[in-house]
């Protein structure tokens, strides 16, 4: 299968998936116990005012009509209005999404800077002390939930060492230094958790490349270990690693829901939690949909990268 056909096929798949995603987001929030009208008006509302509001919000229409209405609205960029904030959902999300993006991007960067050299180092010293300790480090890294790393980082770097603030957010346009100091701990905690996967991948990919014939040839020609590792092996080993990094970005984005709560970071994760706690249905729907979309697209990008670098994937048409 050519790359072009593969992309077309995958986009087709994604459209179908997208349809199911909207269906799930809609269904889940519409079988919520507790009537929306009742939630807005409170328990003391009269029967008449409840009915009036239900009619006004269109809640007494059949579910499929409500669903179609919602999807048509989405296509026009209208995600409804938040019950709690009284503002358009799209606007609330647009305000917070860049903050979450900033966190996820910074975390991924930190992870890459830490893990690639570590992975290369571990591979070069296979089964020796540095390799074993790096592998153990990686294992511990993935065994702790991200929010726990967050708490450990707060405890060590904010409470004990007093190096960074314990949480909060400042816009970079207002105060760049203040913004960055608040970014370090949450991004570091998440980056730390991501390091493990990327390091493992770098290590195994490097090991594979280092056992290739042309590396032996380079050695036989008397090239230095440094040149072989950095110039020849890494260049080829990095390909699968890039794919893993793309997958990790989506993982990071999925993790922000919990991490933002730990660091009082007002991104889309905390917005989702607020929405859930206040049963703000339009906002819950909007948040779920946007997070799922970003998660889906970054996974899609990772798949494309994978297929681009490894043509075998494209031939396995059934998968």
What is the Cα–Cα distance from 250 to 293, expressed in whole angstroms?
10
The Cα-based distances of 94 to 77, 97, 99, 109, 169 in angstroms read: 12, 5, 10, 23, 16
DSSP state of 157: I
In which element (H, E) is residue 152 found?
A: helix 146-153
Quick one: which of 8, 23, 65, 72 contacts other proteins (CB under 8 A)? 23
Q: What is the closest distance, in whole angstroms, from the C-beta atom of residue 177 to other proteins in the complex?
A: 25
Nearest CA to 295 among 250, 257, 243, 252? 250
Quick one: which of 58, 98, 117, 145 contacts other proteins (CB under 8 A)? 145
Of 97 and 223, which CB lies nearer to other proteins in the complex structure?
A: 97
Number of chain positions touching other proteins (CB under 8 A): 51
Helix (H, G, I), strand (E, B) or coil at 81: strand
Nearest CA to 82 among 299, 275, 294, 295? 275
Paired tokens of 234: 């890494």
Paired tokens of 142: 């993935």
Of 68 and 159, which CB lies nearer to other proteins in the complex structure?
A: 159
Residues 298-317: x/- map of binding to other proteins (CB under 8 A)? -x------------------
305 phi and psi angles, rounded to 5 deg: -60, -45
Residue 5, C-beta contacts closer than 8 angstroms, at least 6 positions apart: 314
> For other proteins, which stretch binds (CB under 8 A), given 16-24, 42-50, 87-95, 108-116?
16-24
Of 53 and 273, which CB lies nearer to other proteins in the complex structure?
A: 273
Positions 193 through 212 that interact with other proteins (CB under 8 A): 197
Of 232 and 248, which CB lies nearer to other proteins in the complex structure?
A: 248
Of 139 and 214, which CB lies nearer to other proteins in the complex structure?
A: 139
Residues 258-297: x/- map of binding to other proteins (CB under 8 A)? x--xx---------xx--x--x----x---x--xx--xx-
Burial 272-296 (b: 16+ CB within 10 A, else e): bebbbeebbbbbbbbbbbbbbebbe
Q: Is 318 in the site for other proteins (CB under 8 A)?
A: yes
Q: How many CA atoms lie within 13 A of 62 on its CB side?
A: 3
> For other proteins, which stretch binds (CB under 8 A), given 9-17, 49-57, 58-66, 169-177?
9-17
To the nearest 10 degrees (0 to 180), the angle between helices 146-153 and 176-210 is 130
Q: Is 133 in the site for other proteins (CB under 8 A)?
A: no
Contacts to other proteins by CB under 8 A: 13, 16-17, 19-21, 23-25, 28-29, 31-33, 139-140, 142-145, 147-148, 151-152, 154-155, 159, 197, 247, 250-251, 253-255, 257-258, 261-262, 272-273, 276, 279, 284, 288, 291-292, 295-296, 299, 318-319
């Amino acid at each position: 299968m050519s790359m072009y056909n593969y992309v077309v096929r995958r986009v087709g798949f994604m459209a179908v998936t997208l349809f199911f995603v909207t269906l799930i987001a809609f269904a889940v929030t519409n079988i919520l116990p507790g009537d929306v009208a009742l939630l807005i008006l409170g328990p003391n509302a009269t029967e008449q005012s409840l009915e009036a509001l239900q009619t006004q919000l269109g809640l007494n229409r059949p579910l499929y009509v409500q669903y179609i209405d919602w999807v048509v609205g989405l296509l026009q960029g209208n995600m409804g209005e938040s019950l709690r904030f009284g503002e358009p959902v799209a606007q609330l999300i647009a305000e917070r999404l860049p903050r979450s993006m900033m966190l996820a991007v910074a975390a991924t960067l930190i992870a890459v800077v830490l893990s690639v050299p570590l992975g290369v180092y571990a591979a070069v010293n296979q089964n020796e002390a540095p390799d074993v300790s790096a592998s153990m480090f990686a294992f511990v890294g993935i065994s702790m939930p991200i929010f726990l790393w967050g708490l450990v980082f707060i405890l060590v770097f904010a409470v004990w060492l007093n190096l960074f603030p314990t949480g909060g957010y400042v816009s970079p346009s207002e105060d760049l230094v203040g913004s960055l100091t608040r970014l370090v701990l949450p991004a570091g905690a998440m980056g730390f958790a991501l390091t493990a996967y990327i390091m493992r991948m770098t290590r195994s990919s490097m090991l594979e490349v280092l056992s290739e014939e042309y590396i032996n040839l380079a050695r036989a020609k008397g090239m230095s270990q440094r040149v072989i590792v950095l110039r020849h092996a890494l260049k080829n080993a990095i390909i699968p690693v890039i794919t893993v990094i793309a997958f990790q970005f989506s993982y990071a984005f999925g993790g922000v829901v919990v991490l933002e709560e730990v660091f009082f970071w007002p991104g889309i994760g905390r917005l989702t939690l607020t929405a859930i706690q206040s049963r703000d249905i339009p906002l819950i729907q909007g948040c779920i949909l946007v997070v799922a979309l970003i998660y889906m697209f970054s996974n899609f990008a990772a798949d494309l990268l994978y297929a681009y670098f490894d043509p075998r994937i494209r031939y396995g048409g059934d998968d």
